[in-house]
Amino acid sequence: DAMVIQNPRYQVTQFGKPVTLSCSQTLNHNVMYWYQQKSSQAPKLLFHYYDKDFNNEADTPDNFQSRRPNTSFCFLDIRSPGLGDAAMYLCATSSRGESWETQYFGPGTRLLVL
Amino acid sequence: RKEVEQDPGPFNVPEGATVAFNCTYSNSASQSFFWYRQDCRKEPKLLMSVYSSGNEDGRFTAQLNRASQYISLLIRDSKLSDSATYLCVVNRVRYALNFGKGTSLLVTP
């Protein structure tokens, strides 16, 4: 009965090699988020989708892109990963029907950049 | 000034102790406040919302002071399973939340 699924759980990539992280949800929530969390830091919102409307945070580097082909799936593309992009990437969802501030998180993908 | 500030701890307390965490936020227009719990290397999970009148959920009590822009979480009768990082969360704009760095709690036997 997984609700927010992230694959893979661990991803190793090389410096500068594009990588895609995926998130899917079975909740039919209309809002999906991507957060970056580094060790001992707060989760930092990168961007979110309200349905198909994309909302980028002002300080999210251009190196980070996202796609949401349908309600269930959302992807995070890192075009040229740097060593500083090593982090946990968390996908979350929320619903207009429920309190949108109650966010359901996936287990995260831990990215290592070599 | 950071938008949400918390004492990072760690707080080391014995089982059965009462422990309190504090949090301050900078945006006076914030309307919604929460405590999330995050276990080591896991995702954050909602612990409880925080209401102006204060609210309680079992051993957990949350308080909000809008005038001081201050939120607190009190845990009574601490259990070993309460060991985790507690994140203070405040809404920024619609659909966006600001997370604090978290306060680490370790409950020891």
Per residue in A11-69, pLDDT (tens digit) is 999 999 999 999 999 999 999 999 999 998 999 999 999 999 999 999 999 999 999 99
A87-95 mean pLDDT: 95
Entry field: residues in chain A: 114
Closest chain B residue to the Cα of A39, Cα to Cα: B41
Q: Of chain A residues 46-105, which have a CB less than 8 A from chain B?
A: 48, 50, 55, 57, 88, 90, 94, 99-103, 105
Report how far apart, in Å, the C-alpha atoms of A61 and of each of A18, A74, B32, B96 are: 15, 18, 28, 18
- Interstrand relation of A19-25 and A4-7 (parallel, antiparallel or unpaired): antiparallel
Q: How far is B68 from chain A (nearest CA, A)?
A: 22
